[in-house]
Structure 1
Amino acid sequence: MHLRMYDMYSSGGSNSSFKKLIFFEEKLVIETYLIGYKLEGEAVLFFVRTDGAISFSGIVDCFCTVENDKVTEILKKNKVDKLDFICWTHPDFDHSKGLKDIIDMYASEKTSIWIPEGIDAKEITCSQEVKKLFEYLKECTTNIVSEYNVYSVSDRKDMMFYNSVCFQKDMNRYPLEIISYAPNSKIIRKQNYMDQFIKNDRSIFFVLALGDVRIFLTGDVEDDTLEKIPSNYFGNHVHIMKIPHHGSDSSVKMLDLGWNECEVACSTVYRKGSNNLPLSNVMEEYDKRTQFLMCTGKSDKNNENENYGIIKIETDILAHTFSTQMEGNAEYWSA
């Protein structure tokens, strides 16, 4: 299904300098993959293609199971050798499993690796998988032979500052912008002083912008952080929204940030213990502003036949069109 996007933003000819300028003749496309698993776990992959070839690639969080490793499968299928951008939003197991292997296989000295501010400031209670990742990131930072670019995020930060990229067709330029809005350094500092560590308060939330497209990648950011962002801060229109924290009732402040229109809003599921996310009432609120509301799992979990779900959105930046594809348990949500 191909659909028309709103044309809300200007993309043309900035005179700013960029570290990398990529010329193309016809097509500028961004592919977004939202990957979720049956009980828990999520990852987001995105590729920017110029005239069909991948010119920029990124991953946000990671998860895999013994049966399925969809992140690696998609990277291999698309012949990605190295990632340009890696973001670990926060140290929960369901956002971390397999990320150490991804960094080991797909990071290089040119890769930007982003973690939340203060995430490794002290010993915290976390899974062995996360502890191994902490140790590995320290090695990546201090290894003289292959010192990786590990940066931290808090407040409003330009995550492309050290690796700026712009795509150009004729005289028109399309800079790739990635701006963070969380975690909030005040919250982090207060917790550090009080010897607390609330993982979701560390979660990175950033907006990826290319041309007219705005993609909100929200990790598990929750209301205490979101309410620190000025209301009505963002423009009216969002192209893709990853619904925060698996559609829980502690992350609905995202609805108060000024946007009123969204083409595709997606949630992953979280069904460990007594949890059964996303919540129907939260999804109903997003549905009021969304053209297509989607989930990596089915609204009735008893109808699921696979251990995973994938939502793929392919967006043509110049034609202002997009298409959606679903795999596994993914579906259009119905309450």
Structure 2
Amino acid sequence: MEIKDLEIFQMVAQKGTVTDAAKELSYVQSNITSRIKKLETEMNTALFNRHSRGMTLTPEGKKLLVYCEKILALTNEMKKVVQSKTEPAGKLEIGTVETVMKLPVILASYNKKYQNVDLSLYTGVTHQLQDDVLHHRLDGAFVTEIDPHPELVSHDVFQEELVLISDSAKTSLDQLKEEPILCFSEGCGYRARLAKWYQDQNITPQKLMEFGTLETILGSVTMGLGITFVPKSAVAHLEERGIIHCHYLPKEYSKVNTVFIRRKDAYLTSTLEKFIETFERVEGVMAYPLANKKVLST
């Protein structure tokens, strides 16, 4: 068994088809197929179920994937430890929720100082990003703070307040009760906070609509499609122009911490260490100032 066999196995498991895995790895499909068959022969068991839509892991394949991820992560870490230099270099894969408004400042500052780093950024919701860090798919991620995980270390980034926003015509709670909620997919920390507030107020949302980007959500709110729950800093410019109306919820629902998470047991490379130092030095990322707010109540 070779490391490359495990890399191919992992990619097919992630993509679900030989075609997509071959495209991602820049291999010919026949090479992918033969490597998988070779691995199955060595393991003396079928690792995938083949069907018309692609390939899914068998129970034995799922067991192997757990060890495969650990082996590949350790192999990658070994290379980083041996090749580690004082000057950050190499690949750095970071995840983030969409609403880290200071992220462009952080990235620009880091890129300008450490030009030998190949920095890749991936967006997602908190629970998915945490899972990606846990399974070594990301070096770290900016997420909404949730219950601490024993295998993760978190670094405080900033604290902010979430606001419930509607178009400028809706200024009272009664007007919001029947409005569709526009949100990110399940696993979003903001969505979970808003759902808890609705539950505690004994309000049943009439409709929930999922979107993939913050830009689409905000654009839909301004057009009167529904309401959403987002950081104040993300919509301050729209409020100042009178395009939206901000509704303030009690602090147990609205106060939110953004943290940067990484694996506790992973080697802290100079590349990642300097990235952490960079965002810790960025100014102006603490709580957005609150003024003239009226908290919603029923």
Same fold (TM over 0.5): no
Bigger CA radius of gyration: 2
The answer to which structure has the higher helix fraction is 2
Normalised TM-score (structure 1) = 0.25
- TM-score norm. by structure 2 comes to 0.27
Higher relative contact order (CA 8 A, sep 6+): 2
Of Structure 1 and Structure 2, the greater strand share is in 1
